[in-house]
Amino acid sequence: GAVVSQHPSWVICKSGTSVKIECRSLDFQATTMFWYRQFPKQSLMLMATSNEGSKATYEQGVEKDKFLINHASLTLSTLTVTSAHPEDSSFYICSAHPGLGPRSEQFFGPGTRLTVL
Amino acid sequence: AQSVTQLDSQVPVFEEAPVELRCNYSSSVSVYLFWYVQYPNQGLQLLLKYLSGSTLVKGINGFEAEFNKSQTSFHLRKPSVHISDTAEYFCAATSSGGYNKLIFGAGTRLAVHP
């Protein structure tokens, strides 16, 4: 099956620093990638949708200047948490969609645990 | 607006017992439905999906779900659970006009006890 990787799997950083998380589709081209945030014991909250070569579309309430998303190629999207603060600590999950319409499956990465001290 | 409701936040069950995890959706348009499983500190794995056709959908690990349009439900079932089925289960939906965006339910924690 299709594989999506995320790097790093976990990261600890100091408050005020920026952190970049990579999401790669390893064996297929993803025209669309999604970024989710998940708090402990809660569901996934969609943060933004990114399409290759265009600006990401952010969900209501998500700060686009804080969560920078770049979808530079059909196999790579990055999420940069700028000037991270403890409240940004969370589990971030990406998914990749091959762009064959809503009937086809999204493939999820294993997630990145961010802890901001 | 589309929404997904998982009626049980936690479901405790004994090993080898049957289980049903409930999911209801609301949508004014055609909907595609999915069940995902998440193990601790991992991403999501697709269990099964309903797109069209037969309302009984079989998935991996012995799970199945039935799409019921009149009751707007998509309940997940397994006739005999194992300890290894302990995980978080998410029901999700997308629509033909939803630009591939998935709307997730709140999740159900399945705890299988020996």
- Whether the Cβ atoms of residue B48 and residue B60 lie closer than 8 Å to each other: yes
A97, A109, A111 member nearest B100 (Cβ): A97
More confident site: B80 or A102 = B80
Chain B residues 29-68 with a CB less than 8 Å from chain A: 32, 34, 36, 41-46, 49, 51
Per-residue pLDDT reduced to its tens digit, B6-40: 999 999 999 999 999 999 998 766 688 999 999 98
What DSSP line would sit under A84-111, residue for residue?
Answer: --GGG-EEEEEEEE-SS-TTSPPEE---
Cβ separation of B100 and A93 shorter than 8 Å? no
Residue B2 binned pLDDT confidence (cut-offs 50, 70, 90): confident
Residue B98 binned pLDDT confidence (cut-offs 50, 70, 90): low
DSSP code of A53? T
Q: What is the pLDDT of residue B28?
A: 63
What DSSP line would sit under B63-111, residue for residue?
Answer: -EEEEETTTTEEEEEESS--GGG-EEEEEEEEETTTTT--EE---EEEE
B81 close contact with A: CB closer than 8 A: no
Average pLDDT over residues B37-61: 91
Contacts of B52 (CB under 8 A, 6+ apart): none
Contacts of B47 (CB under 8 A, 6+ apart): B34, B35, B36, B37, B59, B60, B61, B63, B76, B89
Task: Return the residue matching tokens 């004014």.
Answer: B28
Q: What is the pLDDT of residue B102?
A: 86
Q: What is the pLDDT of residue B8?
A: 94
Rounded CA gap, A52 and A68, in Å?
A: 14
Amino acid at B41: N
A34, A42, A110 member nearest B42 (Cβ): A110
Regions of chain A short of the pLDDT cut 50? none
Chain A residue with Cα closest to B36: A108
